[in-house]
Amino acid sequence: MATEHAIGIDIGGTGIKGAVVDLGTGQLVSDRRKVPTPEGGRPADILMATGELLAGLSDSFGDALPLGVCFPSVVKHGRTLSAANISHEWIGLPAEQLFEDAFGREIHFINDADAAGYAESRYGTAVGTEGLVILTTLGTGIGSAFLYDGVLVPNTELGHMEVDGVQAEKRAAYSAKERESLDWKEWAARLQRFYAAVEFLFSPDLFVVGGGVSKHHTQFLPLLELQTPIVPAVHRNNAGILGAASLAAH
C-alpha cells in the first residue's frame, strides 16, 4: 500500500514555503520550496506566488494529493477575519474559495498557529498527551493553538489577551524582547505573567513553546515557575507545513 502523502503550504509575512509530507511519519518527502512573500502581501500577489510554488511541487507529485494551506489570520468557515504582517485587504475575504478557484482543487485553509499546534500533537512533543495542550508561538506576536485529546479547537488568540492592562504580545512576544533590548531574565518575567494568566484561566496539561526563539529555550523556560509542564516545540520551521498537510488529509 502506498504511503499517504499530502502537500502543506505555509504562508507568512516574509516567505511562502511548502513541501510534500509523509502523513505517517511527518517527514518531508520533497525538497522544501520557498518563495518570498510579495511586497505588501496583497491577495492577487500572494495567490500568484503560491501558485508558482505549488506548480513546482505538483510537477513531481501530481495534482491528486490533498492540499492544506496555513495563513497568518483567524480563519472561520474559509474566511480570513484578520491579517498579521500581510495586507489588510485579506480581512473578510472568502480566502479558501479564492485559493480553490485559483488552483482548481479542494484546499483546507487554516490559521498558522493552529497548524503548528496540530503538527506538535501528531508528530512532535505533544504526541499522546491527554487533556488540554496549549501551543504558543513567540515571534512578532504570540500565536496560540488549543488541542484537547489531539482535537484542534481553532482560532484562539491568546496574544491579544490583556495582561497587566496591555495586550500580552505587545510586552511578551519575542519582538518586544528585541525592541526593548531585554535580557533573558527580564523577558522571562514578562512571559511568567502571561503563562501564569493562561494557566489560571485554562488549567492546561502541557504548554508547548514554538517560534524561532524556542531553539534558545534553555535561556528562558527554566526561569518560569508554573504548575503546568512547559516544553519547546520540536518542529519549528516545518510545523506549519506539517500541520496544514495533515489537516488537509484528515
How far, in Å, CA of 22 to CA of 94, rounded? 29
Q: Nearest-5° angle of CA 155, CA 159, CA 163? A: 130
* Cβ neighbours for 175, distance < 8 A, ≥ 6 positions apart: 139, 140, 141
Q: Are strands 206-210 and 230-232 parallel, antiparallel or unpaired?
A: parallel
For residue 246, with 0-12 CB atoms within 10 Å meaning exposed, 13-18 middle and 19 or more buried, which class applies? Answer: buried
Domains and CATH numbers, the chain: 5-114+241-249 (3.30.420.40), 128-232 (3.30.420.40)
Spell out the per-residue pLDDT of the chain, length 250, in tens.
345 999 999 999 899 999 999 999 999 999 999 999 999 999 999 999 999 999 988 777 767 899 999 999 999 999 999 998 899 999 999 999 999 999 999 999 999 999 999 999 999 999 999 999 999 999 989 999 999 999 999 999 999 999 999 999 999 999 999 999 999 999 999 999 999 999 999 999 999 999 889 999 999 999 999 999 999 999 988 999 999 999 999 8
**C-alpha of 178 from chain center:** 21
pTM, full prediction: 0.94
Distance, CA of 25 to CA of 248 (rounded, Å): 16
Dihedral of CA 192/194/195/198: which sign?
Answer: positive
